[in-house]
Amino acid sequence: MATLGVNIDHVATIRQARRTVEPDPVWAAALAELGGADAITVHLREDRRHIQDRDLEVLRRTVQVKLNLEAAIAPEMIEIACRVRPDQVTLVPERREEITTEGGLDVAGHRAGTATAIKRLRDAGIAVSLFIDAEPRQIELAAELGAAAVELHTGRYADATDDKIRDQRLVDLATGGRLVRDHGLALAAGHGLTYRNVVPVARIERMGELNIGHSIVARAVLVGFSQAVREMKALIGG
């Protein structure tokens, strides 16, 4: 049974559309917890397009389940993380021009920066997860650099329109997942997961946490936040 991390970035996206105070992602986090969320995830982006520094600080004081901060390996972000002390930091790639995170972190291509970020976070007592593609080289490096967990990028699985290609990408995720576990790391997955495509990913052997944002917030607009979280929880735990 996989656990559910609810990404509440897009509650802040709605607020920032008007640069006002509502809806407050802090309210959404509380409702997500009431709906059964096992973790609350936020991405503090360099351009502050949705989550703001204040959100992270208030969430640190109010979230009672695991608080997972997604952040780039940039020194500014690592410094904020070390000060606010979320339970976990998931290191992600970040490009200003992207609509959302487009792929996994290229650990091999950013080895020194990733190693420095992991060390600083670990020294501060914060568990580190790396958001990477299900590629053996990236997974092996994650283990070598001392990450505690890997979140496999499910975007390519979610984007596949052809059944055969989708099935192949699921196999790649399962194979990558096995390698993550065999290295003794916790296994998570996320990006692009929806109420329609989540079940096969939740059933991957030894899957730990699924991080889901857009689809839950989209449903929450219509059915309410706790209800949307409850429905997703029932799917991944079934």
List, by residue number, the catalytic residues: 43, 70, 191
Q: Which two tokens stand for residue 177?
A: 């997942």
88 contacts ligand PXP (rule: CB under 6 A) = no
| Of the candidate residues 9, 38, 135, 209, the single one contacting ligand PXP (CB under 6 A) | 9
Q: Show contacts with ligand PXP in window 136-175 (CB under 6 A).
A: 151
Q: 114 or 211: whose CB is closer to ligand PXP?
A: 211
> What region, left, alpha or beta, does residue 227 occupy, with left being phi > 0 and alpha being psi -120 to 50 degrees?
alpha
Helix (H, G, I), strand (E, B) or coil at 18: helix
Count of beta carbons in the 10 Å neighbourhood of residue 109: 10
Q: Show contacts with ligand PXP in window 194-233 (CB under 6 A).
A: 211-215
Looking up tokens 């656990």 gives 3
Total residues belonging to the chain: 238
Q: 36 or 192: whose CB is closer to ligand PXP?
A: 192
191 contacts ligand PXP (rule: CB under 6 A) = yes
Q: Which two tokens stand for residue 35?
A: 């709906």
In sequence order, the β-bridge partners of residue 7 are: 41
Compute the chain's Rg from CA coordinates.
17
Q: Show contacts with ligand PXP in window 55-74 (CB under 6 A).
A: 70
32 contacts ligand PXP (rule: CB under 6 A) = no
- For residues 70 and 94, is the Cβ–Cβ distance under 8 A? no
| Of the candidate residues 29, 193, 204, 207, the single one contacting ligand PXP (CB under 6 A) | 193
Residues of this chain that interact with ligand PXP (CB under 6 A) are 7, 9, 43, 70, 90, 92, 100-101, 131, 151, 190-193, 211-215
